[in-house]
Amino acid sequence: MGSLASKEDHPGELKSFASLREEMVERNIAARGVRDELVLGAMRKVPRELFLPKNLREFAYEDSPLPIAGGQTVSQPYIVAFMAESLLLKGGEKILEIGAGSGYAAAVLSEIAAQVYTVERLGQLADKAAATLADLAYDDVRVLHGDGTRGWLEHSPYDAIVVTAGGPQVPESLKAQLKIGGRLVIPVGADQRVQELVRVTRVSENEYRSEDIADVRFVPLIGEEGWAIAKEGEARARVRGALRRFLRKRKRWSGTSPTQRNRAHRLRGLISIP
């Protein structure tokens, strides 16, 4: 791809990204209750800035979702960590992710798992995610352009499946591609805008146990076993809504530095993205 910053190009910049990343993990992830050392270790390693468009890299370690192509978002780091923890990983698993987006969450998972398979319905995102992951030598991640509501049968069964978009119900194809004992974490809701994060565990060949674990907001899961279409004009509104919610939260925080306030001000500018 050739456009990624390397240590040689910007040694100072990468060092400061590393310390921002460390701060983010402590303040926004560990302090908010994520305890799994495998997940915290993975979040400390993956350079989120390199999965973002260049003009957004300075916001990489704000705990906010950020816009990418196709009206989609890179999820908020806290939710990436929370979902990874919810998969109850021990290390060395085979994981399926639905909704590759930028490829960031797949990279985080691959720091823990042996193999990560990720499916993305938008071709431009699938291509970009595959290129970024290859540039960063995430060789254990494979990207497929397709409808992830049908899973990725060829590599099934999986120890864990994570869906990073919200569907109207749990896709039967995904349940069927879980190993016995495997976990599926997916946002589910009757409304395209809000969901319950659900963990489904395959208890036996025909038995599944389901638990509600959090209230969340994700972009819609579009496909044969998801929503038929996204509501017109909602994609950008959703990205703007996510940024607005983040900035409202940010306003309430006390003790933020001038640099952070400045960054928040520029982030506010993103709300007016056409």
Positions in the binding site for ligand SAM (CB under 6 A) = 72-75, 98-99, 101-102, 104-105, 119-122, 125, 147-149, 164-165, 218-219, 221-223, 226
What is d(CA 126, CA 146) in angstroms, rounded to the nearest whole number?
Answer: 9
Nearest to 64 by CA among 254, 251, 233: 251
Of 228 and 260, the one with the shorter C-beta distance to ligand SAM is 228
What are the DSSP E strand ranges found in 70-121? Answer: 72-74, 94-98, 115-120
Minimum distance of ligand SAM from residue 216's CB (angstroms): 10
Q: Which of 75, 86, 110, 173 is catalytic?
A: 75
Q: Reply yes or no on whether 6 is catalytic.
A: no
Of 149 and 195, the one with the shorter C-beta distance to ligand SAM is 149
Minimum distance of ligand SAM from residue 208's CB (angstroms): 20
Of 222 and 267, the one with the shorter C-beta distance to ligand SAM is 222
Cα 257 to its chain centre, rounded Å, is 27
What is d(CA 144, CA 160) in angstroms, rounded to the nearest whole number?
Answer: 17
Minimum distance of ligand SAM from residue 226's CB (angstroms): 5
DSSP characters over 19-36: HHHHHHIIIIIITTT---
Q: Work out the angle between the directed axes of helices 37-45 and 11-24 (0-180°, nearest 10).
A: 160
Of 40 and 174, the one with the shorter C-beta distance to ligand SAM is 174
Minimum distance of ligand SAM from residue 270's CB (angstroms): 16
Active site residues: 75
